[in-house]
Structure 1
Amino acid sequence: MGMNFTRAAFASLALAGLAVPAAASAQDTTTEARLRKAEAEIRALQRQVFPGGDGRYFEPQITAQQQQGGTTNAPSTTAVTDILARLDAMESQIARLTSQTEENTNAIAQLGTRLGALEVTSSAAASAAQATPAPISAATPTPAASRPSPTPAPAASRPAGPTAERLAAVQAIAKPKTDNAGDDEYSYGFRLWEAGFFPEAQQQLTMFVEKYPRHERISYGRNLLGRAYLDDGKAKDAAPWFLKNYQTDKQGARAPDSLLYLAEAMMAQKDTKRACIALAEFGETYPAVASGRLKSQYEGDRAKVKCT
């Protein structure tokens, strides 16, 4: 039984030894065919990328030594080693082709950019040349007969300033100097208005209301500024100050006065509708003042217009 087992094992080993070379041979044949096909495709690709097909880019099919009938003394290699060497060569060629393709693509893109910029520059230069008139030579003056006669410039109109007498009268009005700077500014504006210097009062009171918007006399200041315009015959400029003084603080010391003077400013502008609205608002909002401190003015204003 031991002899039979030995013979059977030996036979199996023999069969295996015969099968391996056969399988390896078939595999080598398939691999060789694939390699030859890949190499042919690479050569075709080389001819497309590098036209000219000279020795700078293609390895010759037959070397000079082979043409002379010589033989190489390179050591023999196994089939696997030959395949690996050929695969390495193919990978190197593919890498070179890829690199060259990228370089060509970049060069073409840069060339297109430069051409586009050149076209834009040329177009701009042509447009500028067409728009720019030809310069007139300084050496050739225009004949006197063809030159238009100069037109005299109109004399600048200068507003008449205040007379010396007015300046002296304004300067004669003393400005108060106390510890309350805001009150001093308002009082000075009041004195100018009271003396009939309305433009000067307008300037002074405008400065006061802008510089001291929270002063205790701000209601007096806005109302008096409106009166300085109204008394100066500038009802249109007076109305906004009266309205602002009323709307900003309806409980202000001079808010009722401003609403009544607003009606008078509307009358001066022949705006009866708004004048009647202001009078009605005054009567409804300040009934005590309408029958007390400002009764005569209120009744006089109502008599001037016919309100429905």
Structure 2
Amino acid sequence: MEVGIAALVVAIVLGAVVAWLLISIIGYVVQWFGLTLTRGQGSLHMSAGLLSTRSISVEEKRVRGIEIVEPLLMRPVKGAELATLATGVGEGGTTKILPQCPTPVAADVAGQVLGDHHPMRVLLTPHGPAARRRRHVAQQWVTLFLAAAGVAIHQVVLPLNETEAPLWWLLLPAAVWLPIAVVLAELSYAHLGHALSDDHLVAGHGVTARKRTVLEIDGIIGWAVQQNIFQRRLGLVTLVATTAAGDEHVTLTDVPEERAVRLAAQATRESVRPFLVR
């Protein structure tokens, strides 16, 4: 009987996975069938769709940057998707121009849109051990909550109901989540970083999905420096480049304070000059 139930559960799980894959493939084909991306007359033109054709045109002068996203499930097969950051177009100024496709293709198209391939190839500067520790601490809050909940149930809830259960059993969720949190923290830190070229600010971020956001320096209209109590203790800040394109900001999280000031000064020295200490 137990073997039969186990086989049924496995069959249901496998069936659900197969159904999910089929639905995903069908949805991808319906949405992106016949994709064409062309450039002409100062605009980018994208057209795609099987049952109904969706066409988007974006003036190149409105494009201030791009964002390339590598979803977790696509990274083993080197897949990515690409969106433009523009002013006054799309939802929140972000327009997807390439669906999941080979990462080299997405990077090449991004370089052509930017007119510069360097931001797609440049190595990102990591934010240091303090940023890494902060990511581990942030991810382990869930572990602490699960452990505290297990202890509370063992010490308070079970005695009230006159029932018993071993403490280790109640702490099992925390024990299971702990290594998962470590992996998520390491992924988050591995994706974190920044770079500055002559014309572009590059920000790396994301937890399960690896994201690289590239913004033209000419598209930066201001800076905001945010620091919470936990960052202050570690000498870190969140540096936000404000812009009229995309989501209207590009965020660099947990940057060492002195490096953040230096980065803003190098990118837009004239606007930051009044705030620099001589």
- Structure with higher RCO (Cα < 8 A, 6+ apart): 2
Bigger helix share: 1
User: Normalising by structure 2, what TM-score?
Assistant: 0.23
Higher CA-based Rg:
1
User: Normalising by structure 1, what TM-score?
Assistant: 0.21
